[in-house]
Structure 1
Amino acid sequence: MLFLPYPKTRREELYDRENELKELEEAISRGERLVLLLGMRRLGKSSLLNVALNELPNPSVKIDVRKTYSEYSSVNRYIIGKILLSSLSGKKLVEEVKSFLSRVRGITFSGMKVEITSKDFSITELLEALNEYGRERGRVVIAFDEAQYLRFGGATKYDGIIAYAMDNLENLTFILTGSEVGLLFDFLKFDNPEAPLFGRYHHDILLERFSKELSEEFLRRGFEEAGFSVREEEIEDAVEELDGIVGWLSLYGYIRATRKLNHEKALEEVLKEAKSVINTEISRLFAYSPRYRIILKAVALGYSRWSDIKDYLTLKLGYINDSNFSILIENLVKYGYVEKKEGRYTIPDPVLAKVFREI
């Protein structure tokens, strides 16, 4: 069902991402070592990644780094190693991988499972073993979803590990996704001469929002598939409100088709869900500084110039110097909630803009 509001896993569940899927699969097949899958939230990066990994003939591992960080408050080498190994447990491990992993310090085998049992465990040695396995299987693909959270590795420096793998492990491909693109590039530091990944080539795939025409056709096909009749003007208005962001379009369609709500009520429910998302996603940011909330409100209200936003913030919460204000607003750009183009700031997601106008 096109409208299912969850990450997709099969090609037939995707809508109009054939070009991006082909580009990702071709990058892997020609041996690219680092692929970045980029785009704002709710454009389907995780779905595209899931489908690609399911269709690949190569062994692959996917780690949701944000989920890992939320669960463990860390992404150190033991945690990432544990997830990598758990994905290899079972019959495949016994038949194919055990001989490669047996040389890695700090892990033991128990039946169909492999576990980390020693502080001597080295994630680099694990990657070297997977590289040897990839030599037989053509390639091993390791995907880090929301990879900007790798910056919370503590003593484990994942940028250095990835750089080492790119230089020495020719049978590994890393795919990194990131909706907080600024933070992801801050972590990778491609333009920092002192950083491990400085100057390294990376193949970037950018997901864009749907066009107006594509969004309308997506809704038509989804409602037709669900056997639910809607008026054309309702489709046009939904696209006007949700602006080609497939996550919101899917949620709108799913709510209407499954709960039999009218157009206005379904849009209200999408807005309610957006408010819940905001409370979950950026509550820590608001707790860190109440100024973030006011900056977002200012931009949502249409203040787009640096000076106007700062004036609004000063009016609401008092004086802040230029340097501290610049840090705050640029952080919001890095987190992907605010976009900066030609010296003006906007909120690229119209649904979140509505929420921010009300906070």
Structure 2
Amino acid sequence: MLFDLHPKIELRELFGRGTEVEYIIQQVISRNWVIISGQRGIGKTSVMKVSINELRRRNSTDGIYLNLRGVKTLRELLSLLISEINRNKLFNIFNVNVNLNFGPLGVELKRGRLTVQRGLLELLLSINRDMVIGLDEVQELSPVSKPLLDVLGNVFMSNPKVRFIFSGSYVGLVKALLSPKEGSPLLGRPPVEVRLRPFDKITSINFLKQGMMELGVDFENNEAEEVVNKLDGIVGWLTLFGNNYAIRKLNYEYSLQSTIEEGKRIMLEELNHFLEGRNRELYLAILSSLKVTKRWKDIKFATSVKLKRSIDDKEFSSALESLIKYNFIDKIKEGEYQITDPILREIDFDHVGRTV
């Protein structure tokens, strides 16, 4: 069902991303690793889950999906990986290993035998069947980029049966994966990037119409156009609107307004997560300025006025770059920028600091 709010698992449930899924499948079968990129709500998780499921169905490739939201250490990653292996009952994919226990409750590492980094590596190197591991929101592991890259580089060289699909923003670990520097264990072996773009207007309208048709709900063309004009081609917001209107049976105006308000809450949560440990006032002032101007020098001037202080060019450019890498803003052309998400543009950034 198109308007189900959960990430899609089956290919038949996924609208408008068949080409991307087929490409990912072919890359994984060819033993390439893949990174799925794109802004929030664009469908990265659904594309990842469907790709893993299709690889399992068509190619007998075992697969697990890990949501890394809030996972900051290798220990947490290792624990989550073992938990998912056991939950999926993948007990027969390992070679015999003196550092692994295989019991009635599943797989576990023998206590005290290994460091966490070595334990993660041995677990991955012990896999003896084709296996794809989806790491969603992988930028969360940026604080442990160096040891994790060492593990991944070793796995890439030593165990081609294990393949990874990553998703995340272009910062930290993702940047190190896509653009490995001199001395990186993945230099010359970067994953293939699959960037998901918003649907165009016609595809967005067709998505709404097909979802309504599934549920036997009449929907006027002018209403579909208004929804798309408000929400752009962001499939997450279109799905939320469809759920409000066709499943929850809210009236049209309230469905659209509820979608915008709920979307604002979601985007504020995402923004606050991004702002942890950063200069909150600076970033909010930049976003507020971007609602009224696009040019670099005008954004910088407006930001300085809001902050009531001058801003160093380097500090300002670095903040802009971070917002781009986390998919909050786009660089339209040289020297011009805009807020990416239509819902994000609805937020009053001048009051975020006091209300959240």
Same fold judged by TM-score > 0.5? yes
Shift of 1:219: 0.5
Please give the TM-score of this superposition, normalised by the length of structure 1. Answer: 0.87
> Does structure 2 conserve the Cα–Cα contact (< 8 Å) formed by 1:2 and 1:13?
yes
CA offset digits 1:148-185 (Å, max 9, x no partner): 1221337x61122212222222212111112x224454
Shift of 1:120: 3.0
> Does structure 1 conserve the Cα–Cα contact (< 8 Å) formed by 2:44 and 2:196?
yes
Q: Percent identical across equivalent pairs?
A: 30
Segments of 5+ residues of structure 1 without an aligned counterpart are none
Aligned length: 339
Residues 182 and 123 of structure 1: is their aligned pair in 2 closer, same or farther, counting only changes over 3 Å?
Answer: closer
Please give the TM-score of this superposition, normalised by the length of structure 2. Answer: 0.88
- For residue 332 of structure 2, the aligned residue among 331, 338, 341 is 341
Counterpart in the other structure of 1:118: 111
- In structure 1, what residue type is equivalent to 2:311? I
Residues 284 and 248 of structure 1: is their aligned pair in 2 closer, same or farther, counting only changes over 3 Å?
Answer: closer
Q: Please identify runs of 4+ aligned residues in structure 1 that moved more than 6 A.
A: none
Counterpart in the other structure of 1:5: 5
- In structure 1, what residue type is equivalent to 2:294? S
Shift of 1:258: 2.3
- For residue 289 of structure 2, the aligned residue among 298, 302, 320 is 298
> Does structure 2 conserve the Cα–Cα contact (< 8 Å) formed by 1:75 and 1:152?
yes
Residue 97 (structure 1) aligned with residue 86 (structure 2): no
Counterpart in the other structure of 2:67: 64
Residues 14 and 336 of structure 1: is their aligned pair in 2 closer, same or farther, counting only changes over 3 Å?
Answer: same
1:82-231 matched pairs, under 5 angstroms? 82-89=79-86, 92-94=89-91, 96-97=92-93, 100=95, 102-105=96-99, 107-121=100-114, 122-130=119-127, 133-134=128-129, 139-153=130-144, 157-178=147-168, 180-188=169-177, 190-231=179-220
Q: Equivalent residue of 1:346, what SS?
A: strand
Instruction: Give the Cα–Cα distance (whole angstroms) in 2 for the partners of residues 236 and 260 of structure 1.
Output: 19
> Does structure 2 conserve the Cα–Cα contact (< 8 Å) formed by 1:151 and 1:187?
no
Residues 284 and 89 of structure 1: is their aligned pair in 2 closer, same or farther, counting only changes over 3 Å?
Answer: closer
> Does structure 2 conserve the Cα–Cα contact (< 8 Å) formed by 1:142 and 1:174?
yes
1:275-290 matched pairs, under 5 angstroms? 275-286=264-275, 288=278, 289-290=280-281
Counterpart in the other structure of 1:54: 53
Residues 284 and 146 of structure 1: is their aligned pair in 2 closer, same or farther, counting only changes over 3 Å?
Answer: closer
Shift of 1:274: 1.8
Residues 45 and 267 of structure 1: is their aligned pair in 2 closer, same or farther, counting only changes over 3 Å?
Answer: same
> Does structure 2 conserve the Cα–Cα contact (< 8 Å) formed by 1:274 and 1:355?
no
Residues 88 and 15 of structure 1: is their aligned pair in 2 closer, same or farther, counting only changes over 3 Å?
Answer: same
Counterpart in the other structure of 1:75: 73
Instruction: Give the Cα–Cα distance (whole angstroms) in 1 for the partners of residues 230 and 166 of structure 2.
Output: 30
Instruction: Give the Cα–Cα distance (whole angstroms) in 2 for the partners of residues 15 and 186 of structure 1.
Output: 29
Shift of 1:261: 2.4
Instruction: Give the Cα–Cα distance (whole angstroms) in 2 for the partners of residues 205 and 187 of structure 1.
Output: 16
Residues 79 and 306 of structure 1: is their aligned pair in 2 closer, same or farther, counting only changes over 3 Å?
Answer: same
Residues 86 and 233 of structure 1: is their aligned pair in 2 closer, same or farther, counting only changes over 3 Å?
Answer: same
Instruction: Give the Cα–Cα distance (whole angstroms) in 2 for the partners of residues 188 and 147 of structure 1.
Output: 10
Residue 261 (structure 1) aligned with residue 250 (structure 2): yes
Instruction: Give the Cα–Cα distance (whole angstroms) in 1 for the partners of residues 249 and 344 of structure 2.
Output: 24
CA offset digits 1:305-324 (Å, max 9, x no partner): 22111111111112222221
| Larger displacement relative to structure 2 (42-51 or 79-88) | 79-88
Residue 332 (structure 1) aligned with residue 318 (structure 2): no
CA RMSD of aligned residues (A): 2.1
CA offset digits 1:167-208 (Å, max 9, x no partner): 222212111112x22445434262521333223242222211
Residues 286 and 30 of structure 1: is their aligned pair in 2 closer, same or farther, counting only changes over 3 Å?
Answer: closer
Instruction: Give the Cα–Cα distance (whole angstroms) in 2 for the partners of residues 148 and 62 of structure 1.
Output: 15
CA offset digits 1:264-312 (Å, max 9, x no partner): 22221111112211331122444632111111111122x1122111111
Segments of 5+ residues of structure 2 without an aligned counterpart are 352-356
Residue 272 (structure 1) aligned with residue 275 (structure 2): no
CA offset digits 1:91-117 (Å, max 9, x no partner): 9445x235x2x4152x43331322234
